[in-house]
Amino acid sequence: MLKMSMMAVIIAAAASAHAEEKTFDIVYQGLYSVDDHVFQPDKTLKVTLTVDDLDGNGDYSENEVKALKASHIDYKGSCTVEHCLEYFNWVRGSLPDYSAAYHSFDGFYNELTIVNPGVEYREFVQSNFGFRYDLTWHWTADTQTTITQISAVPEPSSYAMLGAGLASLALVARRRRKHNDM
């Protein structure tokens, strides 16, 4: 009876398991300033990205992005009036390909941030009072990209699988001890 119960627990834990959410810090360093017409080796853009490989294929698509934060952009799984992920694709062995935007207008200020890695990073602000700035940077062959995975917190299904595995080991050890005592 114990053996059947253990098998049921193992099967249930395996069935409920899927890849856990992963968070990455992506740092782009060295961008070309379109406004100043010069490559700025110290110009950096930090992006924090959280993904969940729902289909288990090791690649990430737009529906698997849970959050993306860069400059004013604070995307949280679905587009809002202000924060949107326009497209996203990250295939194993390559860099993430995406475009994300922030747009806000409060009646006085119009703000826009666009991040499109490999192409451009843009910060734009314009007021009804004549104030305006528009800064644009482009990626070049000298732009360095560093991707670091931040430790993920295991999901409950991971703990269930660990518990089932430990229980199985305890059962095997108990059976061996019982068999050796005879």
- 167 pLDDT tier (thresholds 50, 70, 90): confident
In the chain, the number of structural domains is 2
Same domain flag for 2 and 85: no
Same domain flag for 146 and 64: yes
Q: Name the maximum alpha-carbon separation found in the chain.
A: 92
Same domain flag for 144 and 173: no
Same domain flag for 41 and 3: no
Same domain flag for 32 and 16: no
CA distance 14 to 40: 50
CA distance 81 to 60: 24
pLDDT in tens, 107-116: 899 999 999 9
Q: How far apart are the first and last CA of the chain?
A: 21
Same domain flag for 46 and 86: yes
Range of the domain at 171: 1-20+156-182
Query: pTM here?
Result: 0.72
Residues with Cβ within 8 Å of residue 170, at least 6 apart in sequence: none
